Amino acid sequence: MIYWMLLAFAIVAEITGTLSMKWASVNDNQFGFILMLAMIALSYLFLSFAVKKIALGVAYALWEGIGILFITLFSVFLFDEQLSVLKVTGLATLVAGIVLIKSGTRKPRQERNHAAV
């Protein structure tokens, strides 16, 4: 469970870092770039701890996919970026991919041996 929390922290740090990069470039503010560097570094640090118990492909796909989804959505609300039909379709496909990847990480059920009576 802790490793999934570390992955969640990595995702939040990535989203924060990427959005602060955009904020800094729009507002010409150096603090945003410092925040970006710190958050991206934290993101990779948390991700590196998460992959100790979560498969690398799964962790990276979730980290990047969920990050892209929320960065895009926050960009629409915070920076007035536009969502086209193609972008919405891409995001829907991304969500479907995230669900499929996460579904593939479930451990198979162990069969119970029933004794014959």
| String of DSSP letters for 67-88 | HHHHHHHHHHHHH-----HHHH
- On whether residue 82 sits in a domain, the answer given is yes
Report whether 62 contacts 95 (CB < 8 A): no
- On whether residue 84 sits in a domain, the answer given is yes
DSSP letter at 1?
-
Domain range for 37 is 1-104
* pLDDT tens for each residue of the chain, 117 residues long: 899 999 999 999 999 999 999 999 999 889 999 999 999 999 999 999 999 999 998 999 999 999 999 999 999 999 999 999 999 999 999 999 988 888 877 665 555 565 555
Predicted local distance difference test score (pLDDT) of residue 104? 77
Indicate the pTM of the whole model: 0.83
Domain count, the chain: 1
Cα distances (angstroms) measured from residue 42 to each of 6, 24, 67, 77 = 10, 18, 14, 25
d(CA 83, CA 89): 10
